C-alpha cells in the first residue's frame, strides 16, 4: 500500500561519496539489546530486544517519538547509562568484540577510541568554565599521549575540519561565545578527535534553524565520506532522514517496529506507525486536512515505558488495528482486532531486506495477509 508522500528521498547527500556508501563492512552490531531502569515505582523497560547493524560508509537512522528508547539504546552502546539503568541482555559488538563483556571503564575507553557520540544539547555537554581548546586537547593528551603543543595544534586542525572560522583564535574561547550551530560543530570536532570508525549523532540539529541544520548535516556527510565512517543518526525528523540515511530503524515503545532501506520505507511503509509518522510530515504546496490548515497527526500519545499495552504496543493508536464495526475478529465495542490486542507481533522479514512488527504488514505492502 503506497501512500501519498512527496518527500525527496535522495540517493546521495551533497559531499557524500557514493563509493563510500556501499562497502558492506560491518563495524557495529547490536543484537537483542534490552535496557531497564529500576525505580521506586518498579522496573521500567526502556529498550526491549533492539537489533541493528552499522556498516562503513553508511548511515543508519533511528527514528521515533520522544521516549521510544533511541537515546537510551545509544547510551548503552557507549557505556554511559546512569546508575539506575541496567543492560539485562544482548550484545554490542564492535568489529566482533562484545563491548558489554568488558569492564565498565574499559568499555567507555574502547568507545572513546572507536565509537564516538555527538550529544543532543551541545551547551550542556560542553563545560562552561573551560575553553573549547582545553576540552578538545584534554582527550588528546590523556588518550593519544600528545604533548600540550601537539594537542593544541590538533585541536585547531579539528576546528578547521568542522569549518569553524578563525579556528586558531576561537580555540581560546568559551562555549557561551559560540552560536548554537558553532557549538554543535565543536561537539562534532570533539567526537572526531580520536578518529573513530562509528559516529553516533543524537539529534544533532535540535533547536537549530533550517539553514544551520542543513550545514551541520552537510558537514557530517562530508566527514563520513572522507573517513568512510559508519553513522548512526538519532532523530524524529523524517525530512532529515530522507535526505541523509541509507537504512532506517523505526522504534516504538522501546522496540524496533520496522527496519528498511530508506527508499523502500518511504515508498511503501510496512508498519502503521511508520505510515502515520510519514503522513504527519509538513509538505509545501499540499492541502492539509481538507484545506482546514491542520496537519495530520498520530492520534493519542506514546505509552509510558512502564505501562506498555498488551499485544501490539501501537494498537490503541492504530487505524489498521480497528476493523469495521461488527467485523470478524473484533473484541468488545471499540473495534480493535483481537490479534492486535492480545498478541505482540515479532519483527519478521516481510520483503527482501525489510522487516516489520505488524500482523498486517502484508496488507500494507499490498499483498495478501500472511
**pLDDT tens per residue across span 228-256:** 999 999 998 888 898 899 999 999 999 99
pLDDT digits (tens, 9 = 90+) for 189-223: 999 999 999 999 999 887 788 888 888 889 999 99
Return the pLDDT at 238: 85
pLDDT exceeding 90 applies to what percent of the chain?
A: 64
DSSP 164: -
Return the pLDDT at 328: 45
Among 64-73, 131-140, 313-322, 332-341, which stretch is predicted with the lowest mean pLDDT?
332-341
SS3 1: coil
Q: Give yes or no for residue 166 having a pLDDT over 50.
A: yes
Q: Give yes or no for residue 16 having a pLDDT over 70.
A: no
Q: Which long-range contacts (CB under 8 A, 24 or more apart) does 140-143 make?
A: 140/193, 140/194, 143/109, 143/112, 143/113, 143/194
Let me know if 92 is exposed, middle or buried by CB neighbors in 10 A (0-12, 13-18, 19+): buried
Q: Give yes or no for residue 104 having a pLDDT over 60.
A: yes
Rounded Cα gap, residues 344 and 135, in angstroms? 47
Return the pLDDT at 284: 65
Rounded Cα gap, residues 176 and 128, in angstroms? 7
pLDDT digits (tens, 9 = 90+) for 135-154: 999 989 988 889 999 999 99
β-pairing verdict for 348-351 and 336-337:
unpaired
Other CB atoms closer than 10 Å to residue 366's CB: what's the count?
A: 9
pLDDT digits (tens, 9 = 90+) for 123-138: 888 999 999 999 999 9
Give the mean pLDDT of 82-86: 93
359 — phi, psi (to 5°)? -65, -20
Give the mean pLDDT of 271-281: 91
Sheet with 97-98, edge to edge strand ranges: 42-55, 26-39, 85-94, 97-98
pLDDT digits (tens, 9 = 90+) for 43-59: 899 999 999 999 999 99
The pLDDT confidence band at residue 24, using thresholds 50, 70 and 90, is confident
Q: Rounded to 5 degrees, what angle do the CA atoms 195, 198, 204 make? A: 95
pLDDT digits (tens, 9 = 90+) for 335-366: 788 899 999 999 999 999 999 999 999 888 87
15 — phi, psi (to 5°)? 90, -5
Return the pLDDT at 240: 84
- State the Cα torsion 361-355-75-10 to the nearest 10°: -100
Rounded Cα gap, residues 15 and 138, in angstroms? 30
Quote the mean pLDDT of the chain. 86
Residue for grid cell 541509507: 246
pTM confidence score: 0.87
Rounded Cα gap, residues 269 and 4, in angstroms? 11
The pLDDT confidence band at residue 175, using thresholds 50, 70 and 90, is very high
Rounded Cα gap, residues 338 and 361, in angstroms? 16
DSSP 176: G
DSSP 299: -
Rounded Cα gap, residues 285 and 6, in angstroms? 11
Q: Which of 65, 79, 54, 14 is nearest to 259 (CA)?
A: 54
SS3 177: helix
Listing DSSP states for 233-258 in one string gives EEES-HHHHHHH-SEEEEEETTEEEE
> Rounded to an integer, what is the distance from CA 346 to the centroid of its chain?
21
Return the pLDDT at 23: 55
Rounded Cα gap, residues 364 and 268, in angstroms? 8
Among 28-37, 292-301, 325-334, which stretch is predicted with the lowest mean pLDDT?
325-334
Return the pLDDT at 280: 85
Amino acid at each position: 500500500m503506497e501512500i501519498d508522500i512527496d518527500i525527496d528521498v535522495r540517493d546521495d547527500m551533497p559531499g557524500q561519496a557514493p563509493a563510500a556508501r556501499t562497502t558492506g563492512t560491518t563495524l557495529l552490531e547490536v543484537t537483542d539489546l534490552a535496557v531497564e531502569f529500576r525505580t521506586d515505582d518498579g522496573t521500567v523497560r526502556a529498550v526491549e530486544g533492539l537489533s541493528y547493524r552499522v556498516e562503513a560508509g553508511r548511515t543508519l537512522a533511528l527514528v521515533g517519538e520522544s521516549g521510544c528508547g533511541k537515546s537510551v539504546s545509544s547510551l548503552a552502546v557507549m557505556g554511559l547509562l546512569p546508575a539506575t539503568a541496567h543492560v539485562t541482555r544482548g550484545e554490542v559488538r564492535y568489529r566482533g568484540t562484545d563491548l558489554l563483556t568488558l569492564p565498565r571503564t574499559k568499555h567507555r575507553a574502547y568507545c572513546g577510541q572507536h565509537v564516538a557520540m555527538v550529544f543532543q544539547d551541545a551547551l550542556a555537554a560542553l563545560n562552561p568554565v573551560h575553553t573549547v581548546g582545553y576540552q578538545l586537547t584534554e582527550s588528546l593528551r590523556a588518550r593519544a599521549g600528545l604533548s600540550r603543543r601537539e594537542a593544541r595544534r590538533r585541536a585547531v586542525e579539528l576546528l578547521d575540519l568542522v569549518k569553524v572560522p578563525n579556528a586558531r583564535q576561537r580555540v581560546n574561547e568559551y562555549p557561551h561565545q559560540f552560536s548554537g550551530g558553532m557549538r554543535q560543530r565543536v561537539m562534532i570536532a570533539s567526537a572526531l578527535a580520536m578518529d573513530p570508525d562509528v559516529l553516533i549523532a543524537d539529534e544533532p540539529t535540535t533547536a537549530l534553524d533550517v539553514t544551520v541544520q542543513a550545514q551541520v548535516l552537510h558537514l557530517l556527510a562530508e566527514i563520513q565520506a572522507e573517513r568512510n565512517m559508519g553513522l548512526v543518526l538519532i532523530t524524529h525528523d523524517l525530512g532529515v532522514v530522507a535526505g541523509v540515511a541509507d537504512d532506517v530503524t523505526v522504534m516504538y515503545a522501546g522496540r524496533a517496529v520496522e527496519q528498511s532501506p530508506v527508499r523502500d520505507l518511504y515508498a511503501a511503509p510496512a508498519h502503521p506507525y511508520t505510515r502515520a509518522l510519514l503522513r504527519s510530515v509538513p509538505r509545501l504546496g499540499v492541502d492539509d486536512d481538507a484545506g482546514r490548515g491542520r496537519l495530520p497527526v498520530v492520534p493519542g500519545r506514546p505509552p509510558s515505558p512502564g505501562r506498555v499495552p498488551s499485544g501490539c504496543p501501537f494498537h490503541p493508536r492504530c487505524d489498521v488495528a480497528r476493523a469495521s464495526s461488527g467485523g470478524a475478529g473484533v473484541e468488545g465495542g471499540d473495534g480493535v482486532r483481537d490479534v492486535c490486542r492480545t498478541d505482540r507481533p515479532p519483527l519478521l522479514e516481510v520483503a527482501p531486506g525489510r522487516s516489520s512488527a505488524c500482523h498486517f504488514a502484508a496488507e500494507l505492502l499490498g499483498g495478501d495477509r500472511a
